Structure 1
Amino acid sequence: MHVGTTVERKSERELVVTRIFNAPASTVYDAWTKADLFIRWWAPKSSGVPMVACDMDVSVGGGYRVAFGVEGAEPMAFFGKYLEVIPNERLVWTNEESEDAAVTTVTFEDKGGVTLLMLSEFYPSKEALDASFDGMEACAPEQFEQLDALLAAGT
């Protein structure tokens, strides 16, 4: 089963991305929670700006930090804390690099060997979502294609 990535506004402050992956929820969850896997798919290759660092403590109150950059330039970092962790089912984290950053929720719903993944970002204002929507609409399908390829390769 293959279904493309959808990116849509659910309200003035919420963005939702969905995709079905041909892998069990536990495998998809691992790709989101193990730094050695996450670093291989999260940065869209077309951007030309690879992820150069990824640290994750995937536990309630634990933090993450990812950095993107090219040689000779200062890396751009994104970081936050995990608010909720239910293995193979749900992750919730803050994005603390900006006052306009969203709280992200990712759910993993096992559908008999395939996984319905739903990513929701809740922004502090309509303006914050407006500023992020086009970038997310452009990047998420490529990111999820990269994740799909990683999963197909057997991670």
Structure 2
Amino acid sequence: MSKTENSKLTSRTEGRDLILEREFDAPRELVFEAFSKAEHLKKWWSPEGWSTPVCETDFRPGGTWRYCMKCTDESQEEYGMESWGKAVYQEIIEPEKIVQIDSFTDSEGNIAEEMPSTKMTINFIEQDGKTKLISRSEYASAESLQAVLDMGVLEGVTETWGKLANVVEELKSR
């Protein structure tokens, strides 16, 4: 298990699964809300130096979440690059769990078959007014998992969940 300084993110792999955990200083209803509404996802679903200019959700089993992340940092080699994705919600138990199939797509929403998709199970566990978030991403193969690790998924999630913590703080203060 590894832990990144200042991020509170822990990660481990089990076969073809990537398990990520982090505690948030907020009730799980608020953390769950940040995952379930486009207005919140748009603020945090991208690493540092990226934005989410497209974020559309139909938050229900069978519904989809379509998004585009765009590099807005001129100092990054990827400046101007877009990364499109789509999740299809399989199961939602409010405020405990979200199961979705997440895939890379083109701008039209067509799944990029050459890129790895994942079945992602996100659990929201209440612990003394805080929320332990556990994300388990199951890939088709160990090679698919390695491909996303090589793409920098751990760094990206660390930064993204850092932005999530800020959004959750905003939600606490309303």
Length-normalised TM-score, structure 2: 0.79
1:10-40 residue CA offsets vs partner (Å, 9 max, x unmatched) = x220001100100001000000011000110
CA contact (8 A) 1:83 1:94 kept: yes
Work out whether 1:93 is the aligned partner of 2:100. yes
Q: Does the C-alpha gap of structure 1 residues 122 and 116 become closer, same or farther in structure 2, counting only changes over 3 Å?
A: same
CA contact (8 A) 2:7 2:162 kept: no
SS at match of 2:53: strand
Work out whether 1:151 is the aligned partner of 2:155. no
Q: Which structure 2 residue ranges, 5 or more long, are not aligned?
A: 1-5, 73-78, 105-111
Q: What aligned pairs does 1:31-50 form with structure 2 within 5 A after superposition?
A: 31-45=34-48, 48-50=49-51
Q: What aligned pairs does 1:53-64 form with structure 2 within 5 A after superposition?
A: 53-64=54-65
Q: 1:102 aligns with which of 80, 104, 118?
A: 118
The Cα RMSD (Å) is 2.1
CA contact (8 A) 2:71 2:80 kept: yes
SS at match of 1:69: strand
Work out whether 1:133 is the aligned partner of 2:149. yes
Work out whether 1:76 is the aligned partner of 2:83. yes
* Residue correspondences, number: 151
Q: Which runs of 4+ in 1 moved over 3 A?
A: 70-75
Q: Does the C-alpha gap of structure 1 residues 154 and 95 become closer, same or farther in structure 2, counting only changes over 3 Å?
A: closer
Length-normalised TM-score, structure 1: 0.88
- Structure 2 distance, partners of 1:149, 1:138, is 17
